[in-house]
Amino acid sequence: MFTGLVQDIGEIALYEKDNSDLTIGIKTNLDVSAIAIGASICCSGCCLTVVKKEENTLFFEVSNETLSCTILGSWQLGSKVNLEKSLAVGDELGGHFVSGHIDAVTTVLEITPDDGSHRIIFEHPKDMAHFIAPKGSITIDGVSLTVNEVTEKIFSVNIISHTWEHTTLGTLAPKSKVNLEIDILARYMDRIIQSKGAS
């Protein structure tokens, strides 16, 4: 479990494909010595397991299934990655509960400056529109954000300058693909409503 508050921007230092699976190494300023083999790290929204570590690099194995439903397959050497360690008991929950399970890949349609922040408009990911609500939470590339506007075809968020400068969101451009995770609470609320309708 994560919070969507990015702790470091890592850099892809190894990108090695073997048949359908992928091994990646991410160079980081996090304290690698304090991260255990088997630990979960949120990598631009995707929960990955540490399989090896060196002085300043964490290594992960990525399955073909993960590659098929995230943006990880588009990464290359030098790509920047939002990193967050898993939530520990007693940690401050400053964002919202993030599972690290990507629901969809969606596309940036427009980015405009907005009084010191940036407004980003995304297209609705297929079959996800009913999970997205104004003032609700959403996770884009591992960053916890608040939804501003929702229409039948798009939703938008505003990115404050701190988030713009300290995550990879500041590198986005129109047509960029991003990992999206809907709010866990929205998912369970939808499940409850469906169960009541079926009873």
β partners of residue 111: 120
The domains of the chain, with CATH numbers, are 8-85 (2.40.30.20), 104-198 (2.40.30.20)
Instruction: Check if the beta carbon of residue 167 is closer than 8 Å to that of residue 84.
Output: no
Residue 177 has pLDDT above 90, yes or no: yes
Give the pLDDT of residue 88. Answer: 74
Span 136-153, average pLDDT: 94
Give the pLDDT of residue 19. Answer: 74
Name the pLDDT band for 21 (thresholds 50, 70, 90).
confident
Question: What is the spatial distance between Cα 158 and Cα 164, in angstroms, rounded to a whole number?
Answer: 10
Span 89-106, average pLDDT: 82
- State pTM to two decimals: 0.91
